[in-house]
Copies of this chain bind each other. A is one copy, B any other.
Amino acid sequence: MSKNLQHATGKDIRLAAREGALTAPTAGLAMGHVQANLVIVPKELAFDFLLFCQRNPKPCPLLDVTEPGKPEPAGIAAGADLRSDLPKYRVWKNGDLIDEPPDIRKYWRDDLVAFLIGCSFTFENALLAAGVPVRHIEMHRNVPMYSTNIACRPAGRFHGPMVVSMRPMTPAQVFPATTICSRFGRAHGTPVHFGDPATLGIKDLSKPDFGDAVPVQPGEVPVFWACGVTPQAVVMAAKPPLAITHSPGHMFVTDMRDCDLENA
């Protein structure tokens, strides 16, 4: 990645994506700025999805929601255009992936509502800053993610299981990790489980449903957090006529600083 973009602002990243100069994943870019998951659905489904997020704040912490047809998430990135400012998108029709374009101008409609949802990058930065290691970052892999037997609270047409991410650490590291994450309720907050994966209905840690496996070393326990893949999985399961998301890892970079997500 360009060192330039590592220390860029959120606006720099968005403009690079808008101009087509950036089509790569955003991990490590604009360090210290909050990155967000994107889910776009038609207005007809927007109340149900907003309600789903409100009812499931750990997997779906909302950072901003746009008005129908307006592609600017003014609360977190003034002047941004969600139709072009992410490096890569996924376009879904009736639950099927039909396109993975670098912009979505040709798919945009006046009835689309965009949801920006907090992302684990925020608390991972805080863990690293506090000396709590994050295995998949050390190994340059994607975080391992698993579907669970934890049912989200349904809302209208949307229902499904919670997806979790997993980070191995020692019991002594679980305490600072919990304290640190409790400050970031809008970035998934505290973990939801540690220890036996079977409690969550996870059969084999070495076979994640999304992302890459990482080893759990002797003396470590797997620690599980609610994951931002949950809302995407729930939307796709409902097979809406049209939905648009970011492409995995190709997030929306906001103007917010990580510290702006701390509880206040």
Q: Which residues of B contact A263 (CB under 8 A)?
A: 182-183, 185, 189, 263
Give chain B nearest CB distance to A238 CB in angstroms.
Answer: 15
Known: A65-B55, A153-B75. A182 touches B47 (CB 8 A): no
> How far, in whole Å, are A58 and B263 apart by their CA atoms in the complex?
11
Measured CA separation A156–B66 after assembly (Å): 10
Contacting B at CB under 8 A, from A35-50, are 43, 46-47, 50
Whether B75 pairs with A65 at a CB distance below 8 angstroms is no
- A53 vs B58: C-alpha distance in the bound complex, in angstroms? 18
Which residues on B sit within 8 Å (CB–CB) of A189?
Answer: 263-264
Count the A residues whose beta carbon is within 8 Å of the partner chain — how many?
23
A54-73 residues with Cβ-Cβ distance < 8 A to B are 54-55, 58, 62, 64-65, 67
A75–B153 alpha-carbon span in the complex (Å): 8
Q: Which residue on chain B has the smallest CB distance to residue A153?
A: B75
A226 shortest CB reach to chain B, Å: 11
Compute how far the CA of A75 lies from the CA of B43 in the bound complex, rounded to whole angstroms.
Answer: 25
Instruction: Give the chain B neighbours of A182 by CB distance below 8 A.
Output: 263-264
The residue on B at minimum CB distance from A67 is B156
Do A54 and B65 touch across chains, with their CB atoms under 8 A apart? yes
A54 and B47 contact, CB distance less than 8 A: no
5 A-B pairs with the lowest CB-CB distances in the bound complex, closest first: A47-B47, A263-B263, A185-B263, A190-B264, A50-B50
| Additional A-B contact list (16), CB under 8 Å, known A50-B50, A50-B54, A190-B264 | A46-B47, A47-B50, A51-B65, A51-B67, A54-B54, A54-B62, A54-B65, A55-B65, A55-B75, A58-B264, A67-B155, A182-B264, A185-B185, A185-B264, A189-B264, A263-B263
